[in-house]
Amino acid sequence: MISIPCEEHSLENGLRIVLSPDPSVPIVAVNLWYDVGSRNEGPGQTGLAHLFEHMMFQGSRHVAGNQHFELLEGVGGSANASTWFDRTNYYETLPSHHLELALWLEADRMGWMLPALTAEKLENQRDVVKNERRQRYDNQPYGDWDERMLAMVYPPGHPYRHPVIGSLEDIDGFTLDDLESFFRAYYAPDNAVLTLCGGFDPTRALEWTERYFGGIPPGPGARRIAGDADAERENHTVSSQTVEADVPLTRVYAAMRVPTFDDPAFYAADVAGDILGRGRASRLHRSLVLERRVAKDVAAHVFPLMTGAAMMLVRATGNMGVDPGELEAVLVEEIDGLRAVAGEEVARAVAMAETAILGQLEVVAQRADLLSMFATHFGDPQRISTEINRLRAVTPEAVATLAGERLGPENRAILTYVPRTSA
C-alpha cells in the first residue's frame, strides 16, 4: 500500500483543514465536508438537507446565481455536491492555478449564503429536486426500495428511518425560514472539514484559507442529531413486506443492522458483505446465479454509517418465473451460511478491497473526499493510509461471530418486489 502525505491545520473559528499535496498533477481537488445530513432532519423535515445542498449553488453575498458553475467551468473545473445520511460534501476539481478561485467561492457561501437566498430560487430548486426524485425513484422499477427498507430496518424515531431525498410532501412544505435556520445551525466553519489534494503549494494554500475563511464566525455549537440513534427494534420480530409493483422481475432485498463505521467490528461486517455478494466468486453469485440459476444478479454491500447502526444490504433479482419464496429462502440460506467462512474467502475479499482502495487513491477528488471523511468521522485523516490494515486484520472467526450476532433472523428485514400481475 502507499502512504498519502497529509498535514492538518485548523483556524481559530474551528475550521479544520487537511492539505495533501501531490506535485505530480496539474490539478487540485477542493473538498468540503459539512457534518450534517439527513440524520439531522426532524419530523416533517425529510429532504431538507438535500434541498439545502441545491440552494448552496444558487449564489451568495458576492456570487450571483449560477455564477458558481460559470466561474468554475469557465476555468476548466468541475463541481458538484452530494447529501448523505451523515454528511453533505461540496467539491470541485480544477486546474491548480485556479485554486484560489475555488477557495473564494466556498468561503463566500459558507459565510454569506443567506443574503442571496430568495423565494424565487427556492421555488426553482424545489421543482428541480422534485424532478430528481421522480427521475431516480418514482419513475424507476424498485425505485422506492430505500424508503420501504429504511422504515423496516430502523425503528420509529431513528435518524436513518427516512431516505435522504425526502418525501414530496415535506419538500413541498419548506420555507425560506426553514433554510435559514438550517444554515445557521449547521453551515459554520466549526462544523466543517476542508481538504485540498493535488498540485498546490501548502504554504500559499494555508494563507488563502486564512484570508477567505478566517473571518467567518463560528456557529452556535450544540448541534443535534434528530431522533434517537439508540432506539432498538423490538427483538424477535421479523419484518417483511411484499410489494406488487411495475417491476420486470421478482427481487428480494434483505437488510440487517450492523456495527457502525467507527466500531472495530464494522470491518468484519464489511468483509462478510464482500464474501456474500461482491464479484463473480462471491457466495451469492456462485450459488444463486451459476449453480441454482434462480437469480439474474446479486449484490451485497455495507453502508459505512456512523449513527446508532450501519446497514448491510443484500439483494437478489430472480430469473423470470422464479418463486419469490424460493428466492428469499436461498438468499437467507447464504446469509446464514456466513457463520462459517474459509480463510481463502477472507483473503479474496481483502485482495479485492486493496485494489479498490488503490483505485480510489488514483483520483485526486476521491482522495480528497476520503481525507475529509476520515477527518470528519474519526478526527484523523491519516486513517486513509492505514484503512487497509483494518481489513487485513479481519479473521474468519470474526466474520463468523459477526454473522452469528448481527445477521440472524431477529435482526433481518426482508423486502420482496413481485411484478404486477395485471396491467
Partner 1 sequence: MSPAGFPRTPPGPGPVAPFAIPTVHAARLDSGLELRVARRDGVPLVTALLVMDAGEATLAGEQAGLAVLTGKALHGGTARRSAVELACALEDMGTHLATSVGWDSTVVSLTCAADRFPRALRLLSEVVLTPGFPDEEVERTREQQLGGIRQRRMYPAQLATAAAAHFFFGKRATYGRPMAGTEGTVAGLERTHVAGFAAGRFRPRGAALVVAGDVSGAAVTDLSAECFGGWRGQAAPVEATAGPRFGERRFVIVHRPGAVQSELRIGHASVARTTPDYFPLIVLNAVLGGAFTSRLNLNLREDKGFTYGVSSHFLLRRAGGMFRIATAVATEDTAAAVREVLAETETLVADGPTPAEVRGARDYLAGIFPLRLETTAQVASGIARMFVHGLAPDYHARYRDRVRAVQVDDAAGAARRRIRPDALTVVVAGDADRVAPELESLGPIEVHHDF
- Distance of closest approach, residue 72 Cβ to partner 1, in angstroms: 9
With binding defined as CB under 8 A, does residue 127 bind partner 1?
Answer: yes
- Distance of closest approach, residue 201 Cβ to partner 1, in angstroms: 9
Measured from the CB atom, the residue of 25 and 265 that comes closer to partner 1 is 25
With binding defined as CB under 8 A, does residue 337 bind partner 1?
Answer: no
Sequence-separated (6 or more) residues with CB below 8 Å from residue 238 = 409, 410, 412, 413, 414
Q: Give residues 131-170 in contact with partner 1 (rule: CB under 8 A).
A: 131-132, 134-136, 138-141
How far apart are alpha carbons 407 and 337 in whole angstroms? 10
Q: How many residues bind partner 1 (CB under 8 A)?
A: 85
With binding defined as CB under 8 A, does residue 359 bind partner 1?
Answer: yes
Alpha helix stretches (DSSP H) within 27-175: 48-55, 67-74, 99-112, 119-133, 145-153, 168-173
Q: Give residues 285-304 in contact with partner 1 (rule: CB under 8 A).
A: 285-286, 290, 293, 296
Residue with cell 487497509: 388
Enter the C-alpha cell of residue 350: 481483502
CB 276, CB 314: distance < 8 Å: yes
Letter string b/e over residues 260-279, b meaning 16 or more CB atoms within 10 A of that residue's CB: bbeeebbbbbbbbbbbbbbe
- Distance of closest approach, residue 322 Cβ to partner 1, in angstroms: 11
Measured from the CB atom, the residue of 133 and 412 that comes closer to partner 1 is 133
Of 18, 30, 105, 316, the residue at the interface with partner 1 (CB under 8 A) is 105
Pairing of strands 78-83, 88-95: antiparallel
With binding defined as CB under 8 A, does residue 389 bind partner 1?
Answer: no
How far apart are alpha carbons 81 and 54 in whole angstroms? 8
With binding defined as CB under 8 A, does residue 342 bind partner 1?
Answer: no
How far apart are alpha carbons 109 and 338 in whole angstroms? 48
Of 14, 95, 218, 408, the residue at the interface with partner 1 (CB under 8 A) is 95
CB 391, CB 304: distance < 8 Å: no
- Distance of closest approach, residue 288 Cβ to partner 1, in angstroms: 12
Q: Give residues 185-204 in contact with partner 1 (rule: CB under 8 A).
A: 199
> Of the listed pieces 153-161, 210-218, 304-312, 375-383, which binds partner 1 according to CB under 8 A?
210-218
Measured from the CB atom, the residue of 14 and 408 that comes closer to partner 1 is 14
With binding defined as CB under 8 A, does residue 123 bind partner 1?
Answer: yes
Q: What CA dihedral angle connects 131, 78, 382 and 89, to 10 degrees?
A: -30
With binding defined as CB under 8 A, does residue 84 bind partner 1?
Answer: no
With binding defined as CB under 8 A, does residue 312 bind partner 1?
Answer: no
How far apart are alpha carbons 184 and 132 in whole angstroms? 26
With binding defined as CB under 8 A, does residue 104 bind partner 1?
Answer: yes
- Distance of closest approach, residue 181 Cβ to partner 1, in angstroms: 20
> Of the listed pieces 57-65, 324-332, 373-381, 397-405, which binds partner 1 according to CB under 8 A?
57-65
Find the helix packing angle between 266-277 and 396-406, rounded to 10°: 90
With binding defined as CB under 8 A, does residue 250 bind partner 1?
Answer: no
> Of the listed pieces 129-137, 221-229, 252-260, 368-376, which binds partner 1 according to CB under 8 A?
129-137
With binding defined as CB under 8 A, does residue 64 bind partner 1?
Answer: no
Enter the C-alpha cell of residue 418: 413481485
With binding defined as CB under 8 A, does residue 361 bind partner 1?
Answer: yes
- Distance of closest approach, residue 37 Cβ to partner 1, in angstroms: 20
How far apart are alpha carbons 337 and 343 in whole angstroms? 15
| Start-to-end C-alpha separation, the chain | 54
- Count of beta carbons in the 10 Å neighbourhood of residue 247: 17
How far apart are alpha carbons 19 and 32 in whole angstroms? 12
